[in-house]
Amino acid sequence: MGRLLIVSNRLPVTVKVEEGEFRITPSAGGLATGMRGLHEGSDSLWVGWPGELPRLSEARREELEQRLAEFRTAPVYLSQTEVNRYYEGFANGVLWPLFHYLTDRVRSDAWKDWQTYSEVNERFAQRVAAEYRPGDTVWVHDYQLCLVPVLLRQLVPEARIGFFLHIPFPSSDVFRIVPWRTEILEGILGSDLVGFHTYPYLRHFSRSLNLLLGVEPDGERLVYANREVRLGVFPMGIDATRFSALAESAEVAAEVQSIREELGKRKLLLGVDRLDYTKGLPERMLAMERLLEREPSWRGRIRFIQVVVPSRTKVESYKAFRRNLDELVGRVNGRYATIDSVPIHYLYQSVSEHQLVALYRAADVMLVTPLRDGMNLVAKEFVASRSDGDGVLVLSEFAGAAAELAEALQVNPYDADAAAMAIHRALTMPREERRTRMEALQRRVFTYDAYRWADTFWKRLQEPPAAEVDRMLSPAGPMQELAARLRAAKHLVLILDYDGTLAPYASSPQLAEPDEELKRLLKALSSRPGTSVHVVSGRSRELMSRWFGRLPLGLHAEHGFWSRPQLGGEWRPLKVRALEWKRRILPLIELVAARTPGSLIEEKTAAITWYYRMADPELGARRFEELRRLLEKEVSGLPLEVMTGPKSLEIRVRGVHKGAILDRLGAKRGITLLAMGDDATDEDLFGALPAGGTAVHVGRGPSSAAYRVADPAAARRFLASLLA
């Protein structure tokens, strides 16, 4: 088996230069600890940025590479300007606030930063490609590297690539604010597997794909650029056993005891966060203020220790944020301090791991109340550290962890009053209830730990793509044989559907006009000796005449109701019964269309079609069902039928289908028939083909056709190969 190549912005080790010597230390943080097990337990290499370093000579870089290789890591060096633009400017100045729904903090002057973001992503991709060996699996992490999957795919098309997003994926209405939204989606879709912490993030991503790229995920899989991409939910866990072992260690026990002695009878509330505007720190202070206001009995009887770890200290908005927070803490403390007690102990510093676990273990109530958070590992670490089975977790419903940790007291961090009451409830919760809740939380945190998380993602990434896609993507051999057989035919008749077969679907059916290249191809095919070409479509004969009228083709409109067998001929209808039904049915469809903005109606002689490709996809799908039920009731007992097509619904006279045109071609002996189509209406044609006729299905989905090509571009290439 190949190796695992892990790719993340930061390496799991940090390099410092001290007195001319390289000092390499392991980095803390969720990602590093989450992946550690997989990194240490498998044949792997980690590619990432080693942190800010002074300028190094070529020889010194070489030396550092060798040192880093001992930790199975490979560095991607970034200049100061690159760090400013790629990391601070774009990743943290645009994507971070946007993905956390804080749209007013999104920078709107980030053109250069985007440029550098792309360049740095390219550099990461190149470094991975240089390390890649056949059989290796690549796992790319997080929002700093959204473009790496597609860039790497271009360099190493056969690589197996996974991407995991550690932060939320926002609602499509928020995501589409970013000017480079399609590039970002396409970047991620270079992967074989895309992972999220929660199902809502996956759903938001799917919806954005649909809205912005027109991709329609089928549950947790989709096809894009002829490749299968799978989506999945993988809630990240922590190394729970390590936290409980630490909590049981003598060093931590001593620390816990000294914290509790100092507290006396006071209750301890705890918060541990990186200084970030997503963490809900001001809102948490307001909740504390509200608690002390509403429940005066707590004054002097609680201590709230808030550890704030300095972060992104150079970014201006973080500096201003910090000043405001300081002021707020000062105000609350000013109001509610007593002679011998200050309610909020605000520590702007990081603490050692032992101190951290001691605080987790000593706290009565843990406050994890971010405005948004991808997951939040602090909540899980608190749970894992409570080997005493006690302690209450107050958790924001906007943290990804809330999806798993149902037994926490969940709060809306924007509602300071409700949050204050939740804290009060936590402080007064009976011991029995505390234990029951904690036990349930621990079961979850210990079962779905970091190892389980990494292992599940990794295994899923190894799974081969679905068989259907395989079949769809690898018909090259048989297609070549088919082309050879068709080239050798004496009399060849090609019957080609238009939308979805010769041309991709356009957002509006009126916009799908054939391009010059297609017209040249059709002309060339019909000039080929012994070959006649027919285009068959559900569209009106007016449109068909306008688009193809001057070409030497047979044309068949409205699914074969109208036919113009050759250039210069007349359009002739099929003989069918009276069409009064349309006067009754049309108003019904019009009513549904009026309630579905973006949908439209095409009235034809023997059919009415309702299209909703431009409508909101969810609304469209709902109305589609409504209309289908309504029409099916209407047609019962009448010589009509309801047909569903791609993003459309059609009601038509029964028996008028594409298969009917075969009778009109005056099928002679000795001709070779080829039919190509992409949807259910073409299946009528395939089904009516005489023995010896061949059907080719374009795209995914079920079909009775013996052959299949991926999309209209592939269909055109196939047809062009008949000219050779």
Active site residues: 497
Q: Which stretch in 85-93, 288-296, 375-383, 520-528 sits in contact with ligand GDG by CB under 6 A?
A: 375-383
Please say which residue, 447 or 507, places its beta carbon nearer to ligand GDG.
447
* CA separation, residue 96 to residues 104, 112, 551 (Å): 12, 17, 54
Binding flag, residue 166, ligand GDG (CB under 6 A): yes
Q: In the complex, what is the shortest distance from the CB of residue 347 to ligand GDG, in angstroms, rounded to a whole number?
A: 9
Q: In the complex, what is the shortest distance from the CB of residue 427 to ligand GDG, in angstroms, rounded to a whole number?
A: 24
Helices then strands, counting H and E runs in the chain, come out as 27, 28
Binding flag, residue 404, ligand GDG (CB under 6 A): no
- Binding ligand GDG (rule: CB under 6 A), the pick from 151, 356, 461, 607 is 356
Radius of gyration of the chain (CA): 32
Binding flag, residue 589, ligand GDG (CB under 6 A): no
Please say which residue, 305 or 593, places its beta carbon nearer to ligand GDG.
305
Euclidean distance between CA atoms 670 and 690, whole angstroms: 12
Backbone angles phi, psi at 698, to 5 degrees: -105, 120
Please say which residue, 278 or 442, places its beta carbon nearer to ligand GDG.
278
Task: Report whether 49 contacts 9 (CB < 8 A).
Answer: yes
Euclidean distance between CA atoms 541 and 371, whole angstroms: 57
Binding flag, residue 309, ligand GDG (CB under 6 A): yes
Binding flag, residue 325, ligand GDG (CB under 6 A): no
Binding flag, residue 350, ligand GDG (CB under 6 A): yes
Start-to-end CA distance of the chain, whole Å, equals: 43
Binding flag, residue 45, ligand GDG (CB under 6 A): no
Q: In the complex, what is the shortest distance from the CB of residue 312 to ligand GDG, in angstroms, rounded to a whole number?
A: 11
Site for ligand GDG in 224-243 (CB under 6 A): 236
The length of the chain in residues reads: 724
Please say which residue, 50 or 374, places its beta carbon nearer to ligand GDG.
374
Binding flag, residue 371, ligand GDG (CB under 6 A): no
Task: Report whether 561 contacts 528 (CB < 8 A).
Answer: no
Please say which residue, 206 or 376, places its beta carbon nearer to ligand GDG.
376
Element (H, E) at 485: helix 476-487
Q: Which stretch in 248-256, 349-357, 628-636, 663-671 sits in contact with ligand GDG by CB under 6 A?
A: 349-357
Q: Which stretch in 84-92, 255-263, 367-375, 511-519 sits in contact with ligand GDG by CB under 6 A?
A: 367-375
Binding flag, residue 378, ligand GDG (CB under 6 A): yes
| Residue of 675, 711, 658, 696 lying closest to 538 (CA atoms) | 658
- Binding ligand GDG (rule: CB under 6 A), the pick from 26, 29, 179, 310 is 29
Q: Which stretch in 36-44, 155-163, 249-257, 346-354 sits in contact with ligand GDG by CB under 6 A?
A: 346-354
CA angle at 221 for the pair 220 and 225, rounded to the nearest 5°: 150
Tokens 């047979």 map to which residue? 554
Task: Report whether 564 contacts 550 (CB < 8 A).
Answer: no
Euclidean distance between CA atoms 497 and 71, whole angstroms: 58
Binding flag, residue 376, ligand GDG (CB under 6 A): yes
DSSP string, 527-554: HSTTEEEEEE-SS-HHHHHHHHTTSS-E
| Residue of 184, 147, 187, 140 lying closest to 162 (CA atoms) | 140
CA angle at 475 for the pair 661 and 671, rounded to the nearest 5°: 35
Q: In the complex, what is the shortest distance from the CB of residue 169 to ligand GDG, in angstroms, rounded to a whole number?
A: 12
Binding flag, residue 381, ligand GDG (CB under 6 A): yes
DSSP string, 246-291: HHHSHHHHHHHHHHHHHHTT-EEEEEEEES-TTS-HHHHHHHHHHH
Euclidean distance between CA atoms 553 and 566, whole angstroms: 6
In three-state secondary structure terms, 676 is strand
Euclidean distance between CA atoms 132 and 139, whole angstroms: 12
Please say which residue, 61 or 354, places its beta carbon nearer to ligand GDG.
354
Euclidean distance between CA atoms 83 and 272, whole angstroms: 27
Q: In the complex, what is the shortest distance from the CB of residue 256 to ligand GDG, in angstroms, rounded to a whole number?
A: 16
Interface size with ligand GDG, residues (CB under 6 A): 22
Please say which residue, 373 or 678, places its beta carbon nearer to ligand GDG.
373
Binding flag, residue 564, ligand GDG (CB under 6 A): no
Please say which residue, 270 or 521, places its beta carbon nearer to ligand GDG.
270
Q: In the complex, what is the shortest distance from the CB of residue 395 to ligand GDG, in angstroms, rounded to a whole number?
A: 12
User: How many other C-beta atoms are found inside a 10 Å radius of the C-beta of residue 246?
Assistant: 22
In three-state secondary structure terms, 145 is helix
Euclidean distance between CA atoms 227 and 149, whole angstroms: 13
- Binding ligand GDG (rule: CB under 6 A), the pick from 5, 91, 167, 362 is 167
| Residue of 682, 681, 716 lying closest to 697 (CA atoms) | 682
Task: Report whether 623 contacts 631 (CB < 8 A).
Answer: no
Euclidean distance between CA atoms 485 and 479, whole angstroms: 10
* Alpha carbons within 13 A on the beta-carbon side of 621: 4
Q: Which stretch in 209-217, 350-358, 591-599, 669-677 sits in contact with ligand GDG by CB under 6 A?
A: 350-358
Please say which residue, 381 or 602, places its beta carbon nearer to ligand GDG.
381
Binding flag, residue 30, ligand GDG (CB under 6 A): yes
- Binding ligand GDG (rule: CB under 6 A), the pick from 374, 391, 475, 500 is 374
Q: Which stretch in 101-109, 372-380, 434-442, 472-480 sits in contact with ligand GDG by CB under 6 A?
A: 372-380
Task: Report whether 648 contacts 612 (CB < 8 A).
Answer: yes
| Cα dihedral sign, 478-479-480-484 | positive
Q: In the complex, what is the shortest distance from the CB of residue 311 to ligand GDG, in angstroms, rounded to a whole number?
A: 8
- Binding ligand GDG (rule: CB under 6 A), the pick from 337, 351, 440, 524 is 351
- Binding ligand GDG (rule: CB under 6 A), the pick from 136, 186, 255, 373 is 373
Please say which residue, 95 or 671, places its beta carbon nearer to ligand GDG.
95
- Binding ligand GDG (rule: CB under 6 A), the pick from 377, 421, 503, 656 is 377
- Contact letters for ligand GDG, residues 264-303 (x by CB under 6 A): --------x-x-----------------------------
- Binding ligand GDG (rule: CB under 6 A), the pick from 307, 344, 441, 661 is 307
Q: Which stretch in 153-161, 280-288, 376-384, 577-585 sits in contact with ligand GDG by CB under 6 A?
A: 376-384
User: How many other C-beta atoms are found inside a 10 Å radius of the C-beta of residue 537?
Assistant: 26
Q: Which residue ranges make up the site for ligand GDG (CB under 6 A)?
A: 28-31, 166-167, 236, 272, 274, 307, 309, 350-351, 353, 356, 373-378, 381
